Structure 1
Amino acid sequence: MLALMLLAAFFAPLPYGPTTPDPASVLQEPSGTHIFGTDANGFDVFSRVIAAGQRDLPLALIGTLASLILGLLIGLPLSTKSPWSERLMRALDAFQSFPLIVLSVTIVSLTGNNIQNIVYAIVIINGPRFIRLIRGEALSIRDGRFIEAAIATGARPRRIVFRHVMPNVVDVCLVQCSLTAANAVIVIAALNFLGVGVSPPDPTWGSMVQVGAQGISTGQWWVAIWPGVAIFIAIASLNILANGIQRRVEGS
């Protein structure tokens, strides 16, 4: 499902321009002409749902990759039981006690609506999870006999980290990456729903839901439903992928 969404977003021919409104086709119901209908501005909903995937899905994946890199850069060095690493982890706990989605909305609002700030918001929310996960997994690996053997043979700390610890945290990182990407889709949709994400008229699923929600009570359900379905499929496929990776890891 995820592969089909990515292929459709980048290669599917669009019947109408996603940023080209048609004033003569405002709020038309789904039909043969507009299979997902049109919104209050005359935009073709199908074209905008597909085009929004070009922005939302890559943003989620880039934000996830950045969170993973941050987790490796901080989590691995903190995978010791020294007092300074424990103090840094307590500071991270204090940071996570803040409502991070509110913090992200504030940062994006103050710094401007652009793609780069959305990636920062994803990292702020998901980076601490990677740091904690990688550190915890690395701590358990460091207690293994093969690490003791590597130390006994004179292996340097850097070699131990990159040759023995890092390869053994890859499996849990892959599972967490899928879950984080699903959460990133929610974060992107939430930011755009609140109007602090990508600026209109560029289509995003969250902004489309926000615009369409105003018409549900008057019967124009199709404007909000279809981008909502796209968000659901993206999140569901990423969670299914995470479950599949976890089963494969546990079975290996």
Structure 2
Amino acid sequence: MPDVFAAPRGHQLRLLVKQHPGATVGVAFIVLLLLASLFAPLPYDPTATNGSNALKAPGAEHWFGTDGAGGDVFSRVISAARIDLSLALAGTLLSLVVGLPLGLVASGKGRASDWLVRGLDAFQAFPLLILALALVSLSGNRLYMVVVAIALINVPRYIRLMRSEILSLRESRFIEAAIAMGATPGRITFRHLLPNVWGIVLVQTSLTIANAIVVIASLSFLGVGVSAPTPSWGGMIRDGAGNMSSGEWWIAGFAGIAVLLCVLAFNQLADAIGDRTARTYR
């Protein structure tokens, strides 16, 4: 298999596409979905209802059919992407901002590190999804609390990831050489440790976004988080679940497919980043 990084810069993109077609398709899907949700003119108002058009099957007039209130499912699926993906990205960013510095603290020596690790063990003893559900419910379904809930679920993962990676790297010979040459702890951290963990952090970030999409859909399915009439994939799945038995599969089906494709796309991206990182440090 050709090495991407040995190729001329102009050929690297084509090699990446060839080696990781799943990630390429996934990224293209996410980009198109975001662009469509932000800029594309939707065929119908995603919050509009029309009782005379209720439960129409997919066709030329309504590509994904209509729901029980007569809303256009295609318009709602595309509109829901804007809010669901925005919340997922914001929650992941907050997880990074909080989790990475705490991971550095946890990887050190001293009482602060010990207390943080013990506190993390105690915190993870709670069912975090239930905690997130209670937090969002008590806030009155404030969207910023959905972001906080995503961070609560994922910050411990970043802390443990950073701690394990940095503790492992500190046993490496190049770190020992840097210490022998008189490098300061700050230089060792920012010049030698952090650049060597960014690859695995990016992999975890892609997986975190995928997990956040599932969490947001789960909260919406349970009736918290994104409130009606604002479209959300989880809410659409909840609203259409009762119609599955009578044959109106498209209400929940297309929203479920959107969640599935987004999660699959970010998982494929994580695989590609992991492969690239392994080749870089091979």
Q: Structure 2: 5+ residue runs without aligned partners?
A: 1-28
CA distance in structure 2 between the partners assigned to 1:100 and 1:146 by the alignment: 38
Alignment of 1:91-170 (within 5 A): 91-170=119-198
SS in 1 for 2:106: coil
Asked if structure 1 preserves the Cα contact closer than 8 Å seen for 2:105 and 2:112, the reply is: no
Q: Distance in 1 between matches of 2:43 and 2:240?
A: 21
- The alpha-carbon deviation at position 159 of structure 1 amounts to 2.5
Distance 1:76 1:211 in 2: 44
Is 1:247–2:275 an aligned residue pair?
yes
Matched residue, 1:55? 83
Structure 1 residue aligned with 2:224 = 196
Q: Which moved more, 1:175-184 or 1:6-15?
A: 6-15
Residue in structure 2 matched with residue 8 of structure 1 by the alignment: 36
**Match for 2:163: what amino acid?**
R
CA distance in 2, matches of 1:249, 1:166: 14
User: What is the SS of the residue equivalent to 1:91?
Assistant: helix
| Residue matched to 1:185 | 213
Q: Let me know the Cα RMSD of the aligned residues.
A: 1.4
Residue type at the aligned position of 2:121: D
2:105 maps to which residue? 77
Give the C-alpha shift of residue 15 in structure 1: 0.1
Aligned residues of 1:114 and 1:199 also touching (Cα < 8 A): no
Please, which runs of 5 or more residues in structure 1 have no aligned partner? none
Partner of 1:40 in structure 2? 68
What's the CA shift for 1:140?
A: 1.2
CA offset at residue 166 of structure 1?
1.3
Match for residue 93 of structure 2 among 46, 65, 69: 65
Return the letter of the residue paired with 1:127: V
The answer as to whether partners of 1:64 and 1:184 remain within 8 angstroms in 2 is: yes
Deviates more, 1:139-148 or 1:124-133: 139-148
Q: Work out the CA distance in 2 between the residues paired with 1:162 and 1:66.
A: 21
> Could you tell which deviates more after superposition, 6-15 or 187-196?
6-15
Q: How far is the alpha carbon of 1:71 from its aligned partner?
A: 1.6
Aligned counterparts of 2:169 and 2:33: Cα–Cα separation in 1: 37
AA matched with 1:119: V
Query: Separation in 2 of the partners of 1:55 and 1:110?
Result: 21
Q: Which amino acid aligns with 2:269?
A: L
Q: Distance in 1 between matches of 2:244 and 2:148?
A: 33
Q: CA deviation at 1:192?
A: 0.5
Per-residue CA distance 1:83-107 (angstroms, 9 max, x = gap):
5413321221121121100000001
Write the letter of the residue equivalent to 2:67. D
Letter in 1 for 2:207: L
Q: Is the 8 A contact 2:85 2:213 kept in 1?
A: yes
Distance (Å, rounded) in 1 between the aligned partners of 2:201 and 2:102: 14
Which residue of 1 is the match for residue 250 of structure 2? Answer: 222
Contact 2:77–2:233 (CA under 8 A) maintained in structure 1: yes
**What is the Cα deviation at residue 249 of structure 1?**
1.3
Q: Distance in 2 between matches of 1:53 and 1:136?
A: 34
> 1:209 and 2:237 equivalent?
yes
Distance in structure 2 (CA, Å) of the matches to 1:168 and 1:236: 26
CA distance in 1, matches of 2:143, 2:195: 32
Deviations 1:9-58 (A, max 9, x none): 22222000011112221111111111111111111000000000011112
Letter in 2 for 1:48: R
Is the 8 Å Cα contact of residues 56 and 66 (structure 2) preserved in structure 1? yes
